[in-house]
Structure 1
Amino acid sequence: MGTYRLLALAVLVGTAAALQAINVATVEFEEGYTPLFGFDNIVRSADDRTVSLLLDRSTGSGFVSSSMYQHGFFSASIKLPSDYTAGVVVAFYVSNGDVFEKRHDELDFEFLGNIRGKPWRVQTNMYGNGSVSRGREERYVLPFDPTTEFHRYSILWTRAAVVFFVDDVPVREVRRSAAMAGDFPSKPMFLYATVWDASTWATSGGRYSVNYRYGPFVASFTDLALLGCRVDPIQMPSSGSAECTAVEDALLASDLAVMTLEKQQAMRRFREHNMVYSYCYDTLRYPVPFPECSVVDSERRRFKGNGHLRLALRRRHRPRPEARPGRPTRAADM
């Protein structure tokens, strides 16, 4: 393990220890979720508090919350597939694409598979009102091995802001502004968790495909948390109720939504050590930065015009030859 990786891990561990842990009630799978697809590839624990999703040659798999939520806090501890996982995407996200096909909202964690010996990358993204042509992607290198134990990933969504957390450390905050208009998610959403084959784009822009000789690929989820106002998708037009307003007011007033100085400092450190792409610095795609982008000159100089980090992060020594995977998957291997 390289010096930088040790330093980044120490920074994250020290940061997490300095912050107050996020404590919310968790639920059994049956209480809050239902299978979505790949039913034979969904394995639930005896106590119904852990669920594993499998991707094999036949199909991926996924589950979805039983209710929609008008704002809320959504969290899970996730252990990602191990070994060679190029092309495999594990997603944990909220969306309403099945209800609002042309004007859907979405908030994403996408774990973008990896080549053995390389660090995992996670992408966060946000869409509002069908704004799919204006992707707000940010990518980070995880400063730990997410395949050996569970790590917690959380999304806080209120009418004022969206915050993404890794192990209770905020890693991204998007504050709502009038200039964002409908690009800020505002309609009720379901929570989803999926694992699927994204060979065409996930790892090095599609250079490396899923190799099913290393499957099945297993992603496990536990400590499932759903906190927010449940909304009936059929009765949605009348669901902006006083009850939902009261629930969100309580959420906004809670420690979850208060961005303390300690949280701001922790977020800045994580981003300095781990962010490798930001749409705010991608002037090739977006010559004019989006209104929510806070362009910091010292940070901007670290990124190229395409939004990617100028210098690759030094993480670990190169793997021994025998630890490297074979060539990218051929059709015969699928």
Structure 2
Amino acid sequence: MGRLHGSLSETLTPFSLLFFFFFFSWFAGFTFAAFNLTTLSFDEGYSPLFGDGNLVRSPDGHSVRLLLDVYTGSGFISSSMYQHGFFSAKIKLPSDYTAGIVVAFYTSNGDVFEKNHDELDFEFLGNIEGKPWRFQTNLYGNGSTNRGREERYSLWFDPSKEFHRYSILWTAKNIIFYIDEVPIREVVRNDKMGGDYPSKPMSLYATIWDASSWATSGGKYKVNYKYAPFTSEFKELVLEGCPTDPIQEFPSASACSDRDAWLESRDYAVITPEQRAAMRRFRQRYMYYSYCYDALRYPVTPPECVIDPAEKERFQDSGRLKFGGSHRKQARITRARRKRRSRVASISNDQTDM
């Protein structure tokens, strides 16, 4: 070990040491202590939704695989509805060619309130081979599907290579979407939202399905079933909140008051200053669309949007990133502009010296 350490230190240049320092500093910015969670077996909290044999439970009952093949997708649902809660799972997505596929992890009451449902969702959008998964978050309240509040992002890791925890916190005060322990989006309830803020009991759903008509490049790339079956895996399932009787539909305020207070006291209910800084970094680097900056769709900014001038500067009136590409492309353009300015300044100085 001593010889290896010595040879390694001899080969590390000041530049490489600086690279490693910035790399690990950047990675550490998205790493926090794990939440204190109690996980459930599948039978303790969930039931099959559709797909029959395409829903495969592990022998110990603590994880489940959802498959999509040429015949059907699959999904599961929580056995209870919840009036507020923390909904979470570690998920691994299908690999290789996944165009046209959507894996969704979301809460909804659409089966009970067909015309005025509420919803909070993660939707993972597949891609052609060699291109990364993307995902979006969204929320609806009281059937406000014509006022979608979606944001779209890329990821800082390959979600098909390893499990990561995806979580939704829903309280009477706010909604937080998490990846691992990093908050990526917070919606604080605003009275001006009215019924657009989800308020009715919801179930937790997880599904995989064929969305060839829109999921990848607006439907340009379809699901290719020669790569089937496509498998998404779920484990370390968490349901924390106030379960309600689906027949009752609306629990009394007092029925959930104690549970709501407990929920709001949990470690995931408070965004620390360090987590808020990580959320800001995530949104700067990986968000490529936000409805809050979509002035063409919403000439009047939705009331819950908190406009960050520096963040807004990077987006067009369509809510998409400027320059029509990713943050990486934007960064390359910025660096190129700086180099051009530097060359112009250098030429100007040379001419002055002459």
Q: TM-score scaled by structure 1?
A: 0.89
2:304 is equivalent to residue 292 of structure 1: yes
> Could you list the runs of 5+ residues in structure 1 that have no partner in the other structure?
1-5, 317-334
Q: Deviations over 1:64-122 (max 9, x none)?
A: 00000000000000000011000000000000000011110000000011111112111
Q: Deviations over 1:276-319 (max 9, x none)?
A: 11001111111111001111221111111111111423669xxx
Identity of aligned residues (%): 61
Give the Cα separation in 2 of the matches to 1:150 and 1:76. Answer: 9
1:22 Cα deviation from its structure 2 partner: 1.1
Give the Cα separation in 2 of the matches to 1:89 and 1:25. Answer: 28
1:130 Cα deviation from its structure 2 partner: 0.3
1:168 to 146, 167, 181: 181
2:288 is equivalent to residue 276 of structure 1: yes
Q: Partner letter of residue 204 of structure 1? A: S
2:326 to 313, 317, 324: 313
Mapping 1:5-154, distance limit 5 Å: 13-17=27-31, 19-154=32-167
Q: TM-score scaled by structure 2?
A: 0.84
Q: Paired residue for 2:225? A: 212
Structure with larger RCO (C-alpha < 8 A, sep 6+): 1
For the Cα contact (< 8 Å) 1:8–1:143, is it kept in 2?
no
Q: Partner letter of residue 149 of structure 1? A: E
2:200 is equivalent to residue 187 of structure 1: yes
For the Cα contact (< 8 Å) 1:52–1:220, is it kept in 2?
yes
Cα RMSD (Å) of the superposition? 1.8
> Could you list the runs of 5+ residues in structure 2 that have no partner in the other structure?
1-19, 330-354
Name which of structure 1's ranges 55-64 and 20-29 shifts more when overlaid on structure 2. 20-29
For the Cα contact (< 8 Å) 2:36–2:267, is it kept in 1?
no
Partner SS, residue 129 of structure 2:
coil
1:304 to 316, 324, 330: 316
Q: Are the structure 2 counterparts of residues 273 and 288 from structure 1 closer, same or farther at C-alpha, using a change threshold of 3 Å?
A: same
Q: Are the structure 2 counterparts of residues 26 and 210 from structure 1 closer, same or farther at C-alpha, using a change threshold of 3 Å?
A: same
Give the Cα separation in 2 of the matches to 1:167 and 1:182. Answer: 30
Give the Cα separation in 1 of the matches to 2:135 and 2:26. Answer: 15
Q: Paired residue for 1:256? A: 268
1:11 Cα deviation from its structure 2 partner: 6.8
User: For this pair of structures, how many residues does the alignment match?
Assistant: 309
Higher helix share: 2
Give the Cα separation in 1 of the matches to 2:26 and 2:186. Answer: 17
Partner SS, residue 235 of structure 2:
strand
Partner SS, residue 146 of structure 2:
coil
For the Cα contact (< 8 Å) 2:288–2:327, is it kept in 1?
no
Partner SS, residue 20 of structure 1:
coil
- State which structure, 1 or 2, has the greater radius of gyration over its C-alpha atoms: 2
1:242 Cα deviation from its structure 2 partner: 2.5
Q: Partner letter of residue 257 of structure 1? A: A
For the Cα contact (< 8 Å) 1:22–1:168, is it kept in 2?
yes
Partner SS, residue 236 of structure 1:
coil
1:236 Cα deviation from its structure 2 partner: 2.6
1:56 Cα deviation from its structure 2 partner: 0.5
Give the Cα separation in 1 of the matches to 2:144 and 2:65. Answer: 32
Q: Deviations over 1:209-255 (max 9, x none)?
A: 11111111100000100000110011233x22534110011111222
